[in-house]
Amino acid sequence: MSVNSQKMDVAKREKVLTAALDVFLRYGYKRVTMNDIATAAGISRPALYLVFESKEEIFKGVYEGFVKETLIAIERKIGPLETP
């Protein structure tokens, strides 16, 4: 796989996760379908399945991104402190 192809895959994955976060927050996990996520991401449902195998996998990616961003924010806040 070429470097450009890998960058496109990462960009597509991030695009899907961003769109999925929006629809999960708006409608809740149970009501969201793969078609909803694909539409929000601006890709076809078959293309979505090339990036993620299931809604559960997408949700896990959204959750992991949220945790990562939260930890980064916490580290920025406590970084300047002399003692945590």
Local confidence band at 82 (pLDDT 50, 70, 90 cut-offs): confident
Fold of 3-78: Tetracycline Repressor; domain 2 (1.10.357)
Q: Is the pLDDT of residue 9 over 70?
A: yes
The pLDDT score that the predictor gives to residue 84 is: 56
Q: Is the pLDDT of residue 5 over 70?
A: no
| pLDDT (mean) for 26-55 | 97
The backbone region for 28, taken as left when phi is positive above 0, alpha when psi lies in -120 to 50, beta otherwise, is left
| pLDDT (mean) for 13-19 | 96
Distance between CA 67 and CA 57 in Å, rounded?
15
Q: What is the mean pLDDT of the chain?
A: 91
